[in-house]
Amino acid sequence: MRGFTTAMARASHPLPALAVTAVAAGLALGTDRSLPSAAIATAAVFAGQLSVGWLNDLVDARRDAQVGRTDKPLAAGELTPRPVRWAFIASAATAVALTLLSGPLAAAAHLTALLAAWAYDLRLKSTAWSVAPFAVAFGLLPAFLSLGAPGSPWPPLWLMAAAAALGSAAHFANVLPDFADDHATGVRGLPHRLGPNITRLTAAALVLTASILLVLGPPGPPPLFALTAVPLALAVLIVGLAAGRRPRSRVAFRAVMLVALLDVVLLLTANG
């Protein structure tokens, strides 16, 4: 039973799910939501992220098996599709139910984000529009959490733009280590059409754009930490891109992820 539970957890893409949920919790606590309302909204985001992860592994099971992805429980034969399918249905239904408790405007924002994420799993992953679901889903996350507060205030546009840029950067960065496997299985998203070199540069440009927006967007003079964030991010990206030009190198990917982590800190600080 423990092996089954562990496999189900791995199939949900737990690290991205927990990371997005942690960001959502920080953003929710930075709004005028009550603590119970913030907790419900955070739970809605977590359930939605689980549904996205399980759907992704269901859709990709054949391709993952084709390239020998032993880290994927469905592809490795540790799970059958049936429990993962039911887990997706249950988590998706839970996400929708919890989302509706935040009110119509907030619910519309989060449901649109969920539909975009599910569309990526089902179809858009292999199209030139593959980045669009990330821009939409991440860009609407601050809106969902803010619109559920009393008075349904919209978040500032710079915050939504920074979140969209950060989500888009994550898409380009996540593809970098998997170019060969994706090519072998016929995945042709936007990064694959641009090629690895342009994808690396695009990921770096997007994550740096998020840094700049998060530093210059909030009213008032930026704090010292924020002022040092942009040159630090630029230095990390320059070193990472220069050292990560070899095929299958993960250096550029790690550099982008390091700056993305810095951006998350800026995001939560700016929202607070």
Q: Which of 53-57, 75-79, 159-163 has the lowest mean pLDDT?
A: 75-79
Residues 80-99 pLDDT 10s: 999 999 999 999 999 999 99
Tell me: pLDDT of 247 over 70.
no
Tell me: pLDDT of 162 over 90.
yes
Tell me: pLDDT of 242 over 80.
no
pLDDT confidence of residue 176:
81
Tell me: pLDDT of 172 over 70.
yes
Query: What is the band of 151 on the pLDDT scale with cuts at 50, 70, 90?
Result: very high
Query: What is the band of 249 on the pLDDT scale with cuts at 50, 70, 90?
Result: low
Give pTM, 2 decimals: 0.91
Q: Which of 91-105, 191-205, 209-223, 245-259 has the lowest mean pLDDT?
A: 245-259
Q: Which residues contact 143 (CB under 8 A, 6 or more apart)?
A: 106, 109, 154, 155, 160
All domains in the chain, ordered by first residue:
1-107+117-126 (1.10.357.140), 156-272 (1.20.120)
Cα distances (Å, whole numbers) of residue 72 to 68, 150, 170 = 9, 42, 20
Half-sphere exposure of 67 (CA within 13 A, CB side): 17
Output the average pLDDT for the chain.
Answer: 90
